[in-house]
Amino acid sequence: MKAFTYERAESPAAAAAAVAARPGAKFIAGGTNLLDLMKLQIEEPVHLVDVNRLALDKIEPTPDGGLRIGALVRNTDLAADERVRRDYGVLTRAIVAGASGQLRNKATTAGNLLQRTRCPYFYDTNQPCNKRKPGSGCAAIGGYSRQLGIIGTSDACIATYPGDMAVAMRVLDATVETVQPSGSTRHIPIADFHRVWGDTPHIDTNLQPGELITAVTLPKPVGGTHIYHKVRDRASYAYALVSVAAILQRDGSGHVAIGGIAPKPWRVEAAEAALPQGAKAVATRLLAGARPRPDNAFKVPLVERTLAAVIAQAKDAA
Ligand SMILES: Cc1cc2nc3c(=O)[nH]c(=O)nc-3n(C[C@H](O)[C@H](O)[C@H](O)COP(=O)(O)OP(=O)(O)OC[C@H]3O[C@@H](n4cnc5c(N)ncnc54)[C@H](O)[C@@H]3O)c2cc1C
Ligand code: SF4
């Protein structure tokens, strides 16, 4: 690990200003992703701004009947919150499908959204990787790509966004709240938060330098059956090959988002109109333009089959 300096932020605006003032500075929350990347010298921040003591750890009702989740709410606390379990079950299910109990006790809402890809070549500093080192190439293209993306990818990078929680937040139409170094605030729909990165895969999100996430808000509950179905190589401690977050209504309508296949949680609202026609019709629309590689072409039928399982589960539950 390389030497770095450290400070503890006193307010959200001060934290944002502190990171903006030092090129190469980063926020640290639970540290469960950032510290691993620092030990491998994939991330080399010169200065860390610790946000853990900011008062951003509450889950509160919003005036329009939704919930506001502070950026520092730990994954365990968010999944266990009785309002979340009752009204946003897909979120609880997605969170507990990720990582391990110990990790979820430390991991925060904001840090989880910003976790970096799990492409094996991103972690191997002997390999070219445009995401780690812009312009160096992509070892995964022509290499081992079984876990990697099939849609929204580019000739520069075929990695996926690896997280579970954000897939549920996408189906719930969450909004990310931030404070900028100037002190002004911003509301970013989750659909626009993660990037389809094209030829700049080193930039994962649309956050500006120094912009601090302060909360994530959920709109008022929409009812329905909430399901998160994660297909992975092992029953725990493994990232999704494909995951489906779904909110399905008795009349067959609903919303679905897919994880494990793209640079961001993948949702195509127009595809949801096909839900009453079944999984094949939805998957065809969701995956229009997909560019699977020989190693990961199995994800195309896997999306359809996972959707079919989710639709069947919702019918059983109704
Ligand atoms: C072995 C292992 C298995 C895992 N399995 C899964 C899994 O199956 N599914 C899954 O979804 N996740 C999984 N994870 C990832 C885990 O969920 C993340 O590491 C965790 O959520 C990151 O949160 P954190 O608070 O520790 O972030 P940190 O490591 O502290 O930070 C991550 C990034 O977010 C930035 N950041 C933190 N807070 C803010 C803020 N408020 N505003 C702006 N930027 C901020 C940091 O600068 C850093 O770049 C796994 C992790 C490990 C180590
Ligand atoms: S797929 Fe992306 S993260 Fe993986 S090696 Fe290529 S550029 Fe790097």
Instruction: Name the nearest CA neighbour of 164 among 124, 204, 113.
Output: 113
Cα distances from 233 to residues 90, 147, 159, 163, in angstroms, run 21, 10, 17, 15
pLDDT digits (tens, 9 = 90+) for 12-44: 999 999 999 999 999 999 999 999 999 999 999
Nearest atom, ligand 1, residue 97 CA: 8
Q: Given the CA of residue 112, which atom of ligand 1 is nearest to it? A: 21
Question: What ligand has the least distance to the C-alpha of 140?
Answer: 2
- Ligand 1 atom 11 nearest Cα: 163
For residue 318, the model assigns a pLDDT of 79
Shortest-distance ligand to the CA of residue 238? 1
- List all residues whose CB is within 6 A of at least one atom of ligand 1: 26-34, 36, 51, 71, 98-99, 103, 106-108, 110-112, 114-115, 163-165, 212-213, 237, 239
Please tell me the predicted confidence (pLDDT) of residue 236.
Answer: 82
Separation of alpha carbons 266 and 211, rounded Å: 24
pLDDT of residue 165: 98
Work out the angle between the directed axes of helices 299-317 and 279-286 (0-180°, nearest 10): 140
Closest ligand relative to 201 C-alpha: 2
In terms of C-beta density within 10 A (0-12 exposed, 13-18 middle, 19 or more buried), how is residue 75 classed? buried
For every one of its 318 residues, what pLDDT tens digit does the chain have, with 9 covering 90 and above?
789 999 999 999 999 999 999 999 999 999 999 999 999 999 999 999 999 999 999 999 999 999 999 999 999 999 999 999 999 999 999 999 999 999 999 999 999 999 999 999 999 999 999 999 999 999 999 999 999 999 999 999 999 999 999 999 999 999 999 999 999 999 999 999 999 999 999 999 999 999 999 999 999 999 999 999 999 999 888 999 999 999 999 999 999 999 999 999 999 999 999 999 999 999 999 999 999 999 999 999 999 999 999 999 999 987
pTM recorded for the entire structure:
0.98
pLDDT reported for residue 235: 86
Closest among 148, 143, 116, 144 to 132, alpha carbons compared: 116
* CA nearest to 58, candidates 44, 77, 45: 77
List 248's β-bridge partners, or say none: 225, 254
* CA distance linking residue 197 with residue 264, whole number of Å: 9
Relative to the CA of 130, which ligand 2 atom is closest? 7
